[in-house]
Amino acid sequence: MSHAGRLEWAEARRRAAAAPVALGGEEVDLADAVGRVLRRAVVAAIDIPHYASAAMDGWAVAGDGPWRLREAPPLSTGEAMRIVTGGALPPGADAVVRSENAHRDGAELRLDRADGKRHVRPTAEEARAGDELVATGTRLTPAHVALAAAATADRLEVARRPRVTTIFTGDEVVLSGVPAAGQVRDSFGAPIPHVLAALGAEHLGSVRLGDDRAATIAALRDAEADLVVTTGGTGGSHADHVRLALDELGAEYLVPGLASRPGGPTLLARLPDGRLVLGLPGNPLAALLGLLSLGDVLVAGFTGRVLPPLARVPVPASVLRHPDATRLVPVRAGLDPSTGSGHREVQWTGSAMMRGLAAATGVLVVPPVGDADVLPLPWG
């Protein structure tokens, strides 16, 4: 630990990954499966494709030409018939001649040019019945779901998504219009639910509170969710009530804080009934970087998904380290001509600023010593 009890970033992430209990599964239709985590592998029920077919529009042919044209199968040597892409290769056929490579001459088909290819998709070219096509623990993309359909699946068993309630705190926050001096616009109500959804969670709804200890206690106590995400109130000022409320409710601190800049006041706690609380700072960039730091591993833990390791890269010479904290640095991928690095720090990265993160393609996790990790942005 460092920074008055705050955990090193990597250790905090490990603790967050171990905190959730997997929630079990449910079956969903293919149309609802994108973005869900697969709990039972997709296995081909049939050969894919399950019949030999034409890879091009043209003619199915048997043997060498010229060929006598037929209207229906089967074909004998020296015969041909029309076929379209994906059509079943008729019995007796051994190749497909592309439309542009031949012409009809009365009752015969004559070759204009040869291209040396059969233009046939053979049976089981992609998979054989019984092959595993998508592994358990995969977060499903549209391509995975299309493959599952080709494997004749109608429904898939997926992990239940963690239910998340958000609690936004702060007397100074206004929801619309131009804020007065001492007020700020709400930077969390619109984006944080979308970030949680992008990570694979189900957002149930939001609660808005002023800086009120009793109201904060009640909101945490009554939130019906697997994970409660709060913003603001995690510091130590007279207006910060999240930690006091957690203490009042008997919570166990799994991550009391992050030894990171920004995002240091981020916390993770477990309430006595098992619900987890991810407390984020009140400054916009600090809050989103805290959510990115721990949110993905929390959601993955609930769904049983194993996340791939973060990419590790040398720290660019232009990026300064902190002597005893991890810096979370919004960066853009691409060659920095001044350093030759593959990542370039963006401007406007103060803890209250969002302009830098809006321009970033990732976040560089820069420890006091050693290489950096690249934290991806879940919005692309």
Which of 123-137, 171-185, 239-253, 341-355 shows the lowest mean pLDDT across its residues? 341-355
**Rounded distance between C-alpha atoms, residue 362 and residue 345, angstroms:** 10
**C-alpha dihedral, 27 to 143 to 162 to 22, nearest 10°:** 70
**Which pLDDT score, from 0 to 100, does residue 75 have?**
97
Task: Look over the chain and give the mean of its residue pLDDT values, rounded to a whole number.
Answer: 94
3-state secondary structure of 302: helix
pLDDT on residue 238: 85
Query: What would the mean pLDDT of 305-317 be, rounded to a whole number?
Result: 93
The pLDDT confidence band at residue 338, using thresholds 50, 70 and 90, is: low
Rounded CA-CA distance 189/196 in Å is 12
Pick the more confident residue, 317 or 88.
88
Lowest mean pLDDT across 8-17, 139-148, 175-184, 244-253: 175-184
Average pLDDT rounded to a whole number, residues 103-127: 94
Q: Would the pLDDT of 2 be above 80?
A: no
State percent of the chain over pLDDT 90. Answer: 87
**Cis before residue 262, ω within 30 degrees of 0?**
yes
Rounded mean pLDDT of 194-213?
A: 95
76: its two tokens: 């004998």
Exposed, middle or buried: residue 380 (CB in 10 Å: 0-12, 13-18, 19+)? exposed
Stretch 185-203: mean pLDDT: 95
Q: What digits encode the pLDDT tens for the residues 11-44?
A: 999 999 999 999 999 999 999 999 999 999 999 9
- What are the C-alpha distances in Å from 225 to residues 248, 252, 275? 19, 17, 7
Least confident of 112-116, 278-282, 331-335: 331-335
Helices vs strands, H then E, count in the chain: 7, 26
pLDDT at 331: 94
- Site of tokens 């920095």: 336
DSSP 91-107: TT--EEEEGGGEEEETT
Structure tokens belonging to residue 5: 């009890």
pLDDT given for residue 3 in this prediction = 43
The model's pLDDT over 46-78, given as tens digits with 9 standing for 90+, comes to 999 999 999 999 999 999 999 999 999 999 999
The pLDDT assigned to 114 comes to 86
The arithmetic mean of pLDDT across residues 95-123, rounded, is: 95
Side-chain-side CA neighbours of residue 242 (13 Å): 29
Roughly how many angstroms between the first and final C-alpha of the chain, as a whole number? 33
Longest Cα–Cα distance in the chain: 95
Q: Would you state the pLDDT for residue 164?
A: 98
The per-residue pLDDT for 111 is 95
Mean pLDDT for the stretch of residues 251-280? 97
pLDDT at 275 over 50: yes
Element spanning 9, H or E: helix 9-18
Residue 336 has pLDDT above 80, yes or no: no
Residue 376 gets the label, from left (phi > 0), alpha (psi -120 to 50) or beta, of: beta
* Residues 199-212, mean pLDDT to the nearest whole number: 95
Tokens of 266: 């981020």
Report whether pLDDT(5) > 90: no
Read off the pLDDT band of 335 (50, 70, 90).
Answer: low
Of 124, 87, 158, 107, the residue nearest 303 (C-alpha): 158
Distances (CA, A) of 96 to 49, 83, 190: 17, 8, 55
Kind and range of the H or E run holding 146: helix 142-150
Average pLDDT over residues 333-347: 68
Q: How far apart are CA 200 and CA 107, in angstroms?
A: 61
